[in-house]
Amino acid sequence: MRTASRSRPKFCSCALAFVLGSAATLAPPALVADTVSLRYGWEPGMDILITFEGERGRVTGGKTQRVRARGSLRLTTAARGDGIALSYSDFQMEPIDARRGGASVDIPAGPQAEMQKLVARLGGALPQTLIGPDGFIVGFIGTQETVSESRAAFRALVSQLPGESQAPPEKMEQILDQIMTEEVIQQRMVEEWNRDVGVWIGAELEERQLYQSEASGQVALLGNAELSSIVTFQYQGAVPCDERAAERRCVKLVMSAEVDPQGLGPAIRDFTARLSGQQVPEIRAVKVDETVELITDPRTLMPRTITIDKVTTMTIMEGGRPVESGQTEHKVMRYEYR
Protein backbone atom coordinates (compact mmCIF):
# COMPACT_ATOMS: atom_id res chain seq x y z
CA MET A 1 0.00 0.00 0.00
CA ARG A 2 1.50 3.30 -0.95
CA THR A 3 2.35 5.51 1.99
CA ALA A 4 1.73 8.81 0.24
CA SER A 5 -1.41 10.58 1.40
CA ARG A 6 -4.22 11.48 -0.97
CA SER A 7 -7.29 13.62 -0.79
CA ARG A 8 -10.45 11.92 0.40
CA PRO A 9 -13.62 11.94 -1.71
CA LYS A 10 -16.62 13.93 -0.64
CA PHE A 11 -18.61 10.97 0.69
CA CYS A 12 -15.67 9.10 2.24
CA SER A 13 -16.91 7.68 5.56
CA CYS A 14 -14.62 6.53 8.34
CA ALA A 15 -17.16 4.48 10.28
CA LEU A 16 -15.85 1.02 11.14
CA ALA A 17 -12.53 2.08 9.66
CA PHE A 18 -13.20 1.11 6.06
CA VAL A 19 -11.31 4.14 4.82
CA LEU A 20 -7.73 4.14 3.62
CA GLY A 21 -5.44 6.67 5.18
CA SER A 22 -1.66 6.49 5.13
CA ALA A 23 -0.37 2.94 5.52
CA ALA A 24 2.67 1.74 7.41
CA THR A 25 4.42 -1.57 6.91
CA LEU A 26 4.26 -3.84 9.95
CA ALA A 27 6.90 -6.39 8.98
CA PRO A 28 9.20 -6.33 5.93
CA PRO A 29 9.19 -9.52 3.84
CA ALA A 30 12.22 -11.78 4.00
CA LEU A 31 12.30 -12.07 0.20
CA VAL A 32 11.14 -9.87 -2.64
CA ALA A 33 7.48 -10.76 -3.10
CA ASP A 34 5.18 -10.53 -6.09
CA THR A 35 3.36 -7.21 -6.26
CA VAL A 36 -0.20 -6.58 -7.39
CA SER A 37 -1.45 -3.26 -8.74
CA LEU A 38 -5.13 -2.68 -8.02
CA ARG A 39 -7.00 -0.52 -10.52
CA TYR A 40 -10.61 0.66 -10.75
CA GLY A 41 -12.47 -0.28 -13.93
CA TRP A 42 -16.23 -0.49 -13.40
CA GLU A 43 -18.19 0.41 -16.56
CA PRO A 44 -21.75 1.34 -17.53
CA GLY A 45 -23.99 -1.40 -18.92
CA MET A 46 -23.12 -4.10 -16.36
CA ASP A 47 -25.79 -6.50 -15.08
CA ILE A 48 -24.73 -8.31 -11.89
CA LEU A 49 -26.54 -10.99 -9.91
CA ILE A 50 -25.46 -10.91 -6.26
CA THR A 51 -26.34 -13.95 -4.16
CA PHE A 52 -25.76 -14.01 -0.42
CA GLU A 53 -26.07 -16.30 2.56
CA GLY A 54 -25.27 -15.73 6.17
CA GLU A 55 -25.86 -16.40 9.82
CA ARG A 56 -26.03 -14.15 12.84
CA GLY A 57 -25.64 -15.52 16.34
CA ARG A 58 -26.30 -13.85 19.68
CA VAL A 59 -25.18 -15.13 23.08
CA THR A 60 -26.64 -13.58 26.23
CA GLY A 61 -26.36 -15.07 29.69
CA GLY A 62 -25.28 -18.42 28.26
CA LYS A 63 -28.25 -18.63 25.85
CA THR A 64 -27.66 -18.73 22.11
CA GLN A 65 -29.96 -17.56 19.32
CA ARG A 66 -29.10 -17.87 15.62
CA VAL A 67 -30.73 -16.42 12.54
CA ARG A 68 -29.88 -17.72 9.07
CA ALA A 69 -30.87 -16.22 5.74
CA ARG A 70 -30.04 -16.33 2.05
CA GLY A 71 -31.21 -14.46 -1.02
CA SER A 72 -30.22 -12.40 -4.03
CA LEU A 73 -30.45 -8.99 -5.64
CA ARG A 74 -29.61 -7.38 -8.96
CA LEU A 75 -27.07 -4.59 -9.45
CA THR A 76 -26.91 -2.68 -12.73
CA THR A 77 -24.71 0.20 -13.85
CA ALA A 78 -25.54 3.07 -16.19
CA ALA A 79 -23.56 6.02 -17.51
CA ARG A 80 -23.99 9.14 -15.39
CA GLY A 81 -21.94 12.18 -16.40
CA ASP A 82 -18.33 11.06 -16.49
CA GLY A 83 -19.02 8.28 -13.97
CA ILE A 84 -21.65 5.60 -13.40
CA ALA A 85 -24.82 5.09 -11.37
CA LEU A 86 -25.39 1.89 -9.40
CA SER A 87 -29.00 0.70 -9.17
CA TYR A 88 -30.29 -2.16 -6.99
CA SER A 89 -33.43 -4.16 -7.71
CA ASP A 90 -35.11 -7.60 -7.66
CA PHE A 91 -34.29 -8.26 -4.01
CA GLN A 92 -35.38 -11.75 -2.98
CA MET A 93 -34.94 -13.57 0.29
CA GLU A 94 -35.83 -17.03 1.52
CA PRO A 95 -37.78 -17.32 4.79
CA ILE A 96 -35.68 -16.47 7.83
CA ASP A 97 -34.58 -19.49 9.86
CA ALA A 98 -34.43 -18.49 13.52
CA ARG A 99 -33.06 -20.90 16.11
CA ARG A 100 -32.49 -20.70 19.84
CA GLY A 101 -29.85 -23.22 20.86
CA GLY A 102 -30.58 -26.19 18.60
CA ALA A 103 -34.35 -25.68 18.39
CA SER A 104 -36.40 -23.54 16.05
CA VAL A 105 -37.88 -20.36 17.48
CA ASP A 106 -41.66 -20.22 17.24
CA ILE A 107 -42.42 -16.83 15.70
CA PRO A 108 -46.14 -16.10 15.22
CA ALA A 109 -47.26 -16.01 11.59
CA GLY A 110 -48.18 -12.32 11.58
CA PRO A 111 -44.90 -10.93 12.95
CA GLN A 112 -42.93 -13.46 10.92
CA ALA A 113 -44.56 -12.30 7.69
CA GLU A 114 -44.00 -8.65 8.56
CA MET A 115 -40.40 -9.35 9.56
CA GLN A 116 -39.88 -10.94 6.15
CA LYS A 117 -41.37 -7.87 4.45
CA LEU A 118 -39.20 -5.57 6.55
CA VAL A 119 -36.04 -7.44 5.62
CA ALA A 120 -37.07 -7.44 1.96
CA ARG A 121 -37.70 -3.71 1.96
CA LEU A 122 -34.49 -2.92 3.79
CA GLY A 123 -32.56 -5.05 1.33
CA GLY A 124 -34.27 -3.92 -1.83
CA ALA A 125 -35.07 -0.27 -1.16
CA LEU A 126 -31.60 1.12 -1.66
CA PRO A 127 -30.77 4.54 -3.09
CA GLN A 128 -29.09 4.89 -6.45
CA THR A 129 -25.40 5.46 -5.86
CA LEU A 130 -23.33 7.79 -8.05
CA ILE A 131 -19.69 6.82 -8.61
CA GLY A 132 -17.19 9.33 -9.98
CA PRO A 133 -14.59 8.47 -12.65
CA ASP A 134 -11.97 7.80 -9.96
CA GLY A 135 -14.14 5.12 -8.35
CA PHE A 136 -15.41 6.97 -5.27
CA ILE A 137 -18.99 7.81 -4.28
CA VAL A 138 -19.97 11.37 -5.18
CA GLY A 139 -23.71 11.32 -4.41
CA PHE A 140 -27.01 9.50 -4.01
CA ILE A 141 -30.46 9.58 -5.58
CA GLY A 142 -33.57 8.37 -3.72
CA THR A 143 -32.27 8.25 -0.16
CA GLN A 144 -35.35 10.01 1.21
CA GLU A 145 -37.63 7.48 -0.51
CA THR A 146 -35.56 4.65 0.98
CA VAL A 147 -36.02 6.10 4.46
CA SER A 148 -39.78 6.44 3.98
CA GLU A 149 -40.17 2.85 2.75
CA SER A 150 -38.01 1.46 5.54
CA ARG A 151 -39.94 3.33 8.22
CA ALA A 152 -43.26 2.13 6.80
CA ALA A 153 -42.05 -1.47 6.90
CA PHE A 154 -40.83 -1.08 10.48
CA ARG A 155 -44.19 0.36 11.61
CA ALA A 156 -46.00 -2.55 9.93
CA LEU A 157 -43.84 -5.02 11.84
CA VAL A 158 -44.44 -3.30 15.19
CA SER A 159 -48.19 -3.25 14.57
CA GLN A 160 -48.17 -7.08 14.53
CA LEU A 161 -46.71 -7.31 18.04
CA PRO A 162 -48.92 -7.79 21.11
CA GLY A 163 -50.26 -4.49 22.46
CA GLU A 164 -48.13 -4.59 25.60
CA SER A 165 -45.00 -4.98 23.44
CA GLN A 166 -45.69 -1.99 21.25
CA ALA A 167 -43.99 1.31 21.97
CA PRO A 168 -46.12 4.49 21.99
CA PRO A 169 -46.19 6.14 18.53
CA GLU A 170 -44.07 9.09 19.65
CA LYS A 171 -41.50 6.73 21.17
CA MET A 172 -41.37 4.66 18.00
CA GLU A 173 -40.72 7.79 15.95
CA GLN A 174 -37.85 8.70 18.28
CA ILE A 175 -36.35 5.26 17.65
CA LEU A 176 -36.74 5.62 13.89
CA ASP A 177 -35.08 9.03 14.09
CA GLN A 178 -32.03 7.24 15.49
CA ILE A 179 -31.77 4.17 13.25
CA MET A 180 -33.46 5.05 9.94
CA THR A 181 -32.24 8.37 8.58
CA GLU A 182 -30.74 9.53 5.31
CA GLU A 183 -27.37 9.97 6.99
CA VAL A 184 -27.38 6.42 8.40
CA ILE A 185 -28.31 4.88 5.03
CA GLN A 186 -25.76 6.92 3.09
CA GLN A 187 -23.00 6.05 5.53
CA ARG A 188 -23.86 2.37 5.21
CA MET A 189 -23.64 2.58 1.41
CA VAL A 190 -20.30 4.38 1.59
CA GLU A 191 -18.87 1.84 4.03
CA GLU A 192 -19.87 -1.10 1.85
CA TRP A 193 -18.52 0.41 -1.38
CA ASN A 194 -15.25 1.42 0.28
CA ARG A 195 -14.92 -2.02 1.85
CA ASP A 196 -15.43 -3.85 -1.45
CA VAL A 197 -13.86 -1.41 -3.92
CA GLY A 198 -12.89 2.09 -2.82
CA VAL A 199 -10.33 1.31 -0.12
CA TRP A 200 -8.27 -0.74 -2.59
CA ILE A 201 -8.14 1.71 -5.51
CA GLY A 202 -4.59 2.50 -6.61
CA ALA A 203 -2.93 0.25 -4.03
CA GLU A 204 0.37 -1.52 -4.74
CA LEU A 205 0.60 -4.58 -2.48
CA GLU A 206 3.39 -7.08 -2.03
CA GLU A 207 2.26 -10.65 -1.52
CA ARG A 208 1.96 -11.72 2.16
CA GLN A 209 3.14 -8.29 3.29
CA LEU A 210 1.11 -6.72 6.10
CA TYR A 211 0.06 -3.07 5.94
CA GLN A 212 -1.65 -1.06 8.61
CA SER A 213 -3.71 2.11 8.66
CA GLU A 214 -5.50 4.05 11.37
CA ALA A 215 -8.88 5.60 10.61
CA SER A 216 -11.34 7.68 12.59
CA GLY A 217 -14.67 9.31 11.96
CA GLN A 218 -18.23 9.84 13.13
CA VAL A 219 -20.72 6.96 13.13
CA ALA A 220 -24.21 8.16 12.23
CA LEU A 221 -25.98 5.13 13.73
CA LEU A 222 -24.37 5.85 17.12
CA GLY A 223 -25.37 9.50 17.24
CA ASN A 224 -22.27 10.67 15.31
CA ALA A 225 -19.96 9.37 18.01
CA GLU A 226 -16.30 9.74 17.06
CA LEU A 227 -14.61 6.32 16.81
CA SER A 228 -11.22 5.16 15.65
CA SER A 229 -9.99 1.82 14.32
CA ILE A 230 -6.82 0.00 13.36
CA VAL A 231 -7.08 -1.61 9.93
CA THR A 232 -4.74 -4.27 8.55
CA PHE A 233 -4.46 -5.11 4.83
CA GLN A 234 -2.87 -8.04 3.04
CA TYR A 235 -2.59 -9.41 -0.51
CA GLN A 236 -2.56 -13.21 -0.25
CA GLY A 237 -1.82 -14.12 -3.87
CA ALA A 238 -3.42 -14.85 -7.24
CA VAL A 239 -6.43 -17.20 -7.24
CA PRO A 240 -9.10 -18.44 -9.70
CA CYS A 241 -12.04 -16.06 -9.91
CA ASP A 242 -14.41 -18.90 -8.95
CA GLU A 243 -14.35 -22.64 -8.33
CA ARG A 244 -14.98 -23.41 -12.02
CA ALA A 245 -12.07 -21.35 -13.32
CA ALA A 246 -8.63 -22.87 -13.95
CA GLU A 247 -6.58 -19.71 -14.48
CA ARG A 248 -5.65 -17.49 -11.53
CA ARG A 249 -6.87 -14.16 -12.88
CA CYS A 250 -8.20 -12.82 -9.59
CA VAL A 251 -6.51 -12.02 -6.29
CA LYS A 252 -7.32 -12.65 -2.66
CA LEU A 253 -7.29 -9.56 -0.45
CA VAL A 254 -7.87 -9.58 3.30
CA MET A 255 -8.73 -6.62 5.49
CA SER A 256 -9.33 -6.71 9.24
CA ALA A 257 -10.50 -3.90 11.49
CA GLU A 258 -10.51 -3.52 15.27
CA VAL A 259 -12.54 -0.66 16.71
CA ASP A 260 -11.02 1.23 19.65
CA PRO A 261 -12.96 -0.09 22.69
CA GLN A 262 -12.35 3.07 24.75
CA GLY A 263 -14.73 5.08 22.60
CA LEU A 264 -17.04 2.28 21.51
CA GLY A 265 -18.34 1.31 24.96
CA PRO A 266 -19.63 4.78 25.92
CA ALA A 267 -21.03 5.29 22.41
CA ILE A 268 -23.09 2.08 22.60
CA ARG A 269 -24.30 2.89 26.09
CA ASP A 270 -25.38 6.44 25.11
CA PHE A 271 -27.11 5.11 21.99
CA THR A 272 -29.00 2.45 23.97
CA ALA A 273 -30.03 5.02 26.59
CA ARG A 274 -31.42 7.32 23.90
CA LEU A 275 -33.45 4.49 22.37
CA SER A 276 -34.85 3.23 25.68
CA GLY A 277 -35.28 6.63 27.32
CA GLN A 278 -33.92 5.30 30.60
CA GLN A 279 -30.72 4.37 32.37
CA VAL A 280 -28.91 1.35 30.95
CA PRO A 281 -26.41 -1.02 32.57
CA GLU A 282 -22.75 -0.12 32.66
CA ILE A 283 -20.62 -1.60 29.89
CA ARG A 284 -17.33 -2.74 31.39
CA ALA A 285 -15.70 -4.08 28.23
CA VAL A 286 -16.59 -4.23 24.55
CA LYS A 287 -14.67 -5.45 21.53
CA VAL A 288 -15.51 -5.51 17.82
CA ASP A 289 -13.35 -7.33 15.27
CA GLU A 290 -14.24 -7.60 11.60
CA THR A 291 -12.46 -9.46 8.81
CA VAL A 292 -13.23 -9.19 5.11
CA GLU A 293 -11.87 -11.62 2.50
CA LEU A 294 -12.22 -10.37 -1.05
CA ILE A 295 -11.74 -12.31 -4.29
CA THR A 296 -11.60 -9.66 -7.01
CA ASP A 297 -10.22 -8.81 -10.44
CA PRO A 298 -7.14 -6.62 -9.85
CA ARG A 299 -7.59 -4.89 -13.23
CA THR A 300 -11.08 -3.60 -12.42
CA LEU A 301 -11.78 -4.27 -8.72
CA MET A 302 -15.00 -6.01 -9.75
CA PRO A 303 -15.61 -8.48 -6.88
CA ARG A 304 -16.33 -12.17 -7.35
CA THR A 305 -16.69 -13.35 -3.74
CA ILE A 306 -16.80 -11.37 -0.50
CA THR A 307 -16.71 -13.14 2.88
CA ILE A 308 -17.37 -11.11 6.03
CA ASP A 309 -16.87 -12.30 9.61
CA LYS A 310 -17.62 -10.06 12.56
CA VAL A 311 -17.32 -10.81 16.28
CA THR A 312 -18.64 -8.55 19.04
CA THR A 313 -18.10 -9.30 22.72
CA MET A 314 -19.34 -7.27 25.67
CA THR A 315 -19.41 -7.37 29.46
CA ILE A 316 -22.45 -5.67 31.01
CA MET A 317 -22.99 -5.04 34.72
CA GLU A 318 -26.45 -6.22 35.79
CA GLY A 319 -27.38 -6.20 39.48
CA GLY A 320 -23.76 -5.63 40.37
CA ARG A 321 -22.66 -8.75 38.52
CA PRO A 322 -20.87 -8.98 35.15
CA VAL A 323 -22.84 -10.66 32.35
CA GLU A 324 -21.04 -11.75 29.20
CA SER A 325 -22.78 -11.31 25.87
CA GLY A 326 -21.69 -11.44 22.28
CA GLN A 327 -22.70 -11.54 18.66
CA THR A 328 -21.21 -13.22 15.60
CA GLU A 329 -21.94 -12.55 11.95
CA HIS A 330 -20.88 -14.57 8.92
CA LYS A 331 -21.88 -13.55 5.39
CA VAL A 332 -20.82 -14.65 1.92
CA MET A 333 -21.70 -12.68 -1.23
CA ARG A 334 -21.06 -13.95 -4.76
CA TYR A 335 -21.10 -11.76 -7.87
CA GLU A 336 -22.15 -13.18 -11.24
CA TYR A 337 -21.54 -10.83 -14.21
CA ARG A 338 -24.15 -11.46 -16.92
What is the domain partition of the chain in residue ranges?
Answer: 15-337
Question: Which position has the higher pLDDT, 98 or 217?
Answer: 217
Question: Which position has the higher pLDDT, 305 or 93?
Answer: 305
pLDDT digits (tens, 9 = 90+) for 9-55: 334 333 333 333 333 333 444 444 589 999 999 999 999 999 999 99
Question: Which position has the higher pLDDT, 170 or 297?
Answer: 297
Lowest mean pLDDT among 88-97, 153-162, 164-173, 285-294: 164-173
Whether residue 333 has pLDDT greater than 80:
yes
pLDDT at residue 1, rounded to an integer: 41
Question: Which position has the higher pLDDT, 64 or 304?
Answer: 304
Average pLDDT, the chain: 80
Task: Give the amino acid at 274.
Answer: R
Confidence of residue 196 (pLDDT cuts 50, 70, 90): very high
pLDDT digits (tens, 9 = 90+) for 128-144: 999 999 999 999 999 88
Please state the pTM of the whole predicted model.
0.81
Q: How far apart are CA 146 and CA 127, in angstroms?
A: 6
CATH code of the domain occupying 15-337: 2.30.230
